[in-house]
Structure 1
Amino acid sequence: MLFNSFEFLFFFPLVALAYFIMPHKYRWLWLLLCSYYFYMAMQPSLIILLMASTCLDYFCGLKMHEHTDNKIRKRYLWMSIVGNLGMLFFFKYFIFFTESSKSLLHFFGIELFGEGGDHVYVFNKILLPIGISFYTFQTLSYSIDVYRRQVEPLRHFGKYALYVAFFPQLVAGPIERANRLIPQFEKRMTLDLQRIRRGIVLMAWGFFLKLVVADRVGVYVDEVFLDPSVHRGLPLLIGSIFFAFQIYFDFSAYCTIAIGAALVLGFDLMQNFNRPFFVRSFGEFWRKWHISLMQWFRDYLYRPLVRKLNFSRGLAMMFVFFFNGLWHGANWTFIVWGIICGLFFLIEMVTWKFRFKVFKVLRIPVESRGFKVLCNAVVFLGLSFSLIFFRSPTVLHALLYIRNMFSLDSTFINVVHDRTELVLSFMLIILVQVIHFYKGNSKVYELLEIKSPAIRWSIYISFVVIMVLFSVNRQNNFIYFQF
């Protein structure tokens, strides 16, 4: 079920109403059933994978807690890791690795099954389960934390299943940790009208970001990325910048709706974005972008590589960004994107002392507003450049895009042939960025709380009118649904 669907507009109010009516002891069951229905509305048969992952980590968690012998405990940890990553590999990466291996062998003149042989292997029908990357990492974090004795295993199977499948954040995060989310299932949630209003405002803001802004900007992005050979210069530059905003607004929209929906029900999900486009460095950007994923890589990949395997910080960081790219999709474009981001981060990390010495010698005021804006622009343009690979279907497509982007043959930017829509896209980007600068996504409701009831209701009515008039009627999936 998509957040931006009419089904969800009926589904969520019914879930919330029944949730507050029924006794506390049955609420976990209601949320679990609703979460499974929410997932099955998109891919019914693949609920089996979600339940398999749930059972595997529930079992491994209990076994790790029962035993004191670290060798036995480690066996169950590896059972969880291999089982979860095995399912993820088969459904998300098997075709990619098979085709890449076949191409590599063909390059060296080796045919895997022989030219024109009778053996035909067709794997193109393997279906990518929605949200598998997210719930796999969430269940893995539970198993690893139990192994490290950082959390107690949950003996109530139903509540553990709810932790894995909680519908607001099931499909595209944020990736929650057991010690944050599971204790909240034990709390007695009351009907707090102020909390519910804040949650609804967050949901409404998320819908605005998705339906009015991200999907509108995406029209321009789709046009220039469809065939970069027919465009030159400025429209391709604008397309890369627009995509940076599109993916930010689209993904933050999903997370904001998820956080708002959970807040209505009384749950506190972690923030996944913290104004990432107002930063002065790539390191700061990655601390504020997709926070739950980057913290996952920090705790379960980067630190073990540095502390246990004695990797250098730079090499461990490159591993993180390589797997960050691979996590996003089974395509070389994502891997190249991850490596480029890693190189930006590494260069920044290695040269920071030298740079500040140069700034000091040249008496450049590093704390001045102008210098901060310049650093912000450099980081944003670097990220926009890297995202060309993220958005492109192939590496060659991305290279063609970049080559033509640096050609100054044309300054015609109205590629969608609708000047009003183009101007509106620019205006909406500026509007959202101004709001994010002052409030971010997490505190947008504060803009309304200081207003009188009459003004608030005027804003509510105006918002409904704006959504009706300016929503882009494409019902696109959220970009991160494919991950």
Structure 2
Amino acid sequence: MLFNSLSFALFFPVIFGLYWWIARKSLKWQNILLLVASFYFYSCWDWRFLFLLMFSIGLDYFSGIKIENSKNSREAKFWLTLSIVINLGFLGFFKYYNFFIESFAEFLSNFGFKVNIWLLNIILPVGISFYTFHGLSYVIDIYKKRIKAERNFVDYSLFVSFFPLLVAGPIERATHLLPQIKVQRTFSYENAVSGLRQILWGLFKKIVIADQCAIYVNEIFAHHQGLYGSTLAIGAILFAFQIYGDFSGYSDIALGTARLLGFDLLKNFNYPYFSRDIAEFWRRWHISLSSWFRDYLYIPLGGSNGGNWMRIRNTFIIFLVSGFWHGANWTFIVWGFLNALFIMPSIIFKTNRNNLDVVAENSLFPTIKEILMMGFTFGLTVVAWIFFRADSVMDALKYIRRVCSYSLLKYPQKEVKWLVAIILFFMAVEWFGRKENFAIEKIHLDHNRWVRWGFYYILIGGIIYFSGEEQIFIYFQF
């Protein structure tokens, strides 16, 4: 069931009505209703994998209790290790089995050994990377004594499987979401209006920006061998906007949907393409994953302690692991490696915390220096996105080589002026709303009713005009 589908448009109003009119007076029934709805939502993808989700929930629920009840640190570490190994074992099998087998066979072939490999036709369970990380952070936090183990099985199950974030995040922490689950929610008109507004903006990002960019991106990347460098450059830039519109659009819909139900989820994007360096970009892009790796991998490895060598080593580790988390392909690992290289100057010279404020915070427009910094940072991310999007590392290298050829100076073979105009409109709205949680959050405060509703109708008209066949979200494959 996709957020941008008719089935979800029918599913959610039913849940919303039952939640606020039937179950509103009982916390127990609110949570039971949401848990049943979440399981149904997930089963719509493939009901067989619902049992895997339930097993993961049960494993971490009982592991958390065992860790908390352990008589000594050795026993607690045993249960923590057991949970981590089983969780990562399932994730590794479903996501990386064929990758490791093929890579091993290719490695042996370089030495003249030919082996028959046994590949499996494995279907990747939707959302497994996200709900696995929910469970891992939970048991680790219990082991570190940051939280107490949750005894209410329904409440814990809802924390892991809450349907707005189940498939593609944000990756929630028990410290943030569980307390909200354990308190009865009351309906707030202001929160509901804010949620609808964020859903509207998320749908615009997905349908009008991401899906329209995808039409050109798919064609350009599929036939890059015969296209001019100028056309390929446009394709790479359009993919940058596609993946941003797609993923941040999903996050907006997820956060807006959760707010309609009385929940406040973690912010996952903070206008990353207005970043002035790569370090700032990674504080603003996929925030829940970046902070997860910081707290559960980078800091345990030693973080920034121990001098430059430790900082460099740990930075490369988290970026390579982050790349591998995205998928079983060397392209994602190279993408992570490139981002580690790009961020190295700020790590070595300790400038990675320089840009913590909002760009042009006290000004309507950025300075020339800020424009150049944002342009350079965006250019680096676009180069890395080429590897993220390409089918193989060799395809990405050929793509970049073609971009750097004399054909970059030729007139592009694809006409995208109308799409550029829409993207400029989109980025202008993002720029003027860059201080808010989402771009159109405060439009109702800054404009009169006619301007406000005129703007809404423009967004709705664009969504209706460009709506067609339902397009899956990019991060569903991760």
Question: TM-score when scaled to structure 1?
Answer: 0.91
- Does residue 478 (structure 1) correspond to residue 473 (structure 2)? The answer is yes
Q: For 1:426, which of 420, 440, 449 is the aligned residue?
A: 420
**2:189 alignment partner in structure 1:** 193
Alpha-carbon distance in structure 2 between the residues aligned to 1:253 and 1:308: 33
Aligned partners of 2:137 and 2:173 also within 8 Å: yes
1:218 shift after superposition: 1.2
| Structure 2: runs of 5 or more not aligned | 355-365
CA contact (8 A) 2:192 2:260 kept: yes
Q: Is contact 2:232-2:403 (8 Å) kept?
A: yes
Mapping for residues 286-365 of structure 1, pairs under 5 Å: 286-306=282-302, 312-351=310-349
Whole-angstrom CA distance in 2 between matches of 1:381 and 1:463: 28
1:241, distance to aligned residue in structure 2 (A): 1.0
- 2-side partners of 1:302 and 1:239: how far apart? 34
Superposed displacement of residue 451, structure 1: 3.8
Distance 1:414 1:121 in 2: 43
- Is residue 2:432 matched to residue 1:438? yes
Deviates more, 1:185-194 or 1:303-312: 303-312
Q: Displacement, 1:130?
A: 0.7
Distance 2:457 2:431 in 1: 25
SS where residue 305 of structure 1 aligns? Answer: coil
Matches of 1:165 and 1:344 in 2, distance apart? 35
Stretch of structure 1 that moved more, 401-410 or 67-76: 401-410
Secondary structure of the structure 2 residue equivalent to 1:306: coil
Instruction: Specify the code of the residue in structure 2 equivalent to 1:101.
Output: F
Q: Deviations over 1:143-175 (max 9, x none)?
A: 100000001110001110000000001100100
* 1:194 positional shift: 1.5
Query: Any conservation in 1 of the 2:155–2:182 contact (CA below 8 Å)?
Result: no
Q: Aligned equivalents of 2:266 and 2:137: distance in 1?
A: 15
Matching of residue 79 in structure 1 with residue 77 in structure 2: no
* Contact map agreement 1:225 1:239 (CA 8 A) in 2: yes
Deviation at 1:106, TM superposition (A): 1.2
Whether 2:155 is the aligned partner of 1:156: answer no
By how many angstroms is 1:327 displaced? 0.4
Q: Is the 8 A contact 1:281 1:376 kept in 2?
A: yes
Deviation string for 1:224-273 (max 9, x for gaps)? Answer: 10021111211111111111111111100000000000000010001101
TM alignment of 1:73-472, pairs within 5 A: 73-113=76-116, 121-123=118-120, 125-306=121-302, 312-351=310-349, 369-409=367-407, 411-415=410-414, 419=415, 422-440=416-434, 442-471=438-467
Match of 1:30 in 2: 33
Which stretch of the first structure deviates more once superposed, 244-253 or 455-464?
455-464
C-alpha displacement of 1:352? 6.1
Letter in 2 for 1:30: L
Superposed CA RMSD in Å reads 1.9
- Distance in 1, matches of 2:439 and 2:72, equals 47
Conservation of the 8 A alpha-carbon contact between 1:287 and 1:294: yes
1:359 corresponds to:
none
SS in 2 for 1:209: helix
User: For the structure 1 residues 309 and 158, does the alpha-carbon distance in structure 2 shift closer, same or farther, using more than 3 Å as the test?
Assistant: farther
* Residue 349 of structure 1: how far off its partner (Å): 2.2
Partner Cα separation in structure 2 for residue 257 and residue 143 of structure 1: 28
Distance in 2 (CA, whole Å) between partners of 1:383 and 1:464 is 30
Counterparts of 1:43 and 1:71, CA distance in 2? 39
Counterpart-to-counterpart distance in 2, 1:188 and 1:159:
12
Q: In the alignment, is residue 12 of structure 1 matched against residue 12 of structure 2?
A: yes
In structure 2, give the amino acid aligned to 1:230: G
What SS class does the counterpart of residue 304 from structure 1 fall into? coil
What is the Cα deviation at residue 223 of structure 1?
Answer: 1.3
